[in-house]
Amino acid sequence: DATMFSLLAFFIASASYRAFRARTLEATLLLVAALIVMIGNAPIGDFIWNKIMPFGDNLPSTVRQWILENPNLSSRRGVILGVSLGIISQSIRIILGIERSYLGGGD
């Protein structure tokens, strides 16, 4: 298991490098936010931060929590709204008999 997880870590690092090339301002902001969240999630991140910087006790985990609670909240709400509207529209189609594929009928 340890071998698989270590290979997975290298694969994730390689994929994130290819995905987050900082060519534009938006990509740079996304890269910085991803790095802060990754450092804040790992317990070693706070330990290293507290040893290097004497100020800001547990700052990476605090910033990670703020990123996940505030800017990320709008995207979560958008996804939930889209899924809700899709469920409502599909339910109306099924109730009105427009959609019959759930019963095994063709088109």
User: Over the stretch 47-104, which tens digit does the pLDDT of each residue have?
Assistant: 777 778 777 677 777 888 888 888 888 889 999 999 999 999 999 998 888 877 766 6
Residues in the chain: 107
How far apart, in whole angstroms, are the C-alpha atoms of residue 60 and residue 56?
9
Read off φ and ψ for residue 77, nearest 5 degrees. -65, -40
Q: Which of 77, 90, 48, 78 is nearest to 35 (CA)?
A: 48
Indicate yes or no: pTM above 0.85: no
How far apart, in whole angstroms, are the C-alpha atoms of residue 98 and residue 36?
48
